[in-house]
Structure 1
Amino acid sequence: MIKTKIKEYRRERKMSQEELAKLVKVRRETIGHLENGKYNPSLKLALDIAKVFGTTVEDMFEYVDE
């Protein structure tokens, strides 16, 4: 399972799921699924999201062995 800090980064910047989705060219639902752990991002999407927040993929996403 992939854990993510997307929601925390968005809230710090007062950014909606819709705004982030437009920046990385996905649907708002995709951002919601990522935040809820129901979807694992492609490498490109992970890189794009990290770039929006000026951080690394390693900081934004964490693999958790269940």
Structure 2
Amino acid sequence: MEELAVAIGKNIREKRRANGLSQDRFALVAGIDRSYMGRIERGEVSITIEMLYRIAATLQCEPITLLPKMSSIRLPKEGLNNCRYSSTLT
């Protein structure tokens, strides 16, 4: 799901910049290590739901606004075939 991490990171970066915050300042206010924040924005790490909510709270937005639309992300097909509900998912 590297593509998803990259898309989330891009959305976070855009929202942070729109709020006029430097990465350093944002990381400080959010209580996140600056280098880790950089890795999040570059999509090098997948974040937890808790971290998504912390970032959204700092940006004063709803977490869903940081998530990409499903149609813009290619989901892996492997694993879906083993799901008994796969016909409703594809």
TM band (smaller chain): 0.7 to 0.9
Structure of higher CA gyration radius:
2
* Cross-structure match for 1:27: 33
What residue is the counterpart of 2:88 in the other structure? none
What is the percentage of aligned positions where both structures have the same residue? 20
Output the amino acid matched with 2:38.
Answer: G
Is residue 2:55 matched to residue 1:49?
yes
Match of 1:13 among 19, 30, 54: 19
Alpha-carbon deviation of 1:24? 1.7
Q: Which runs of 4+ in 1 moved over 6 A?
A: none
TM-score, normalised to structure 2, is 0.62
Gaps of 5+ in 1: none
Specify which structure has the higher proportion of strand: 1
RMSD: 1.7
SS in 1 for 2:20: coil
**Which one has a larger percent helix, Structure 1 or Structure 2?**
2
Count of aligned pairs between the two proteins: 66
Instruction: Extract unaligned runs of 5+ from structure 2.
Output: 77-90
Instruction: Report the TM-score, using the length of structure 1 for normalisation.
Output: 0.80
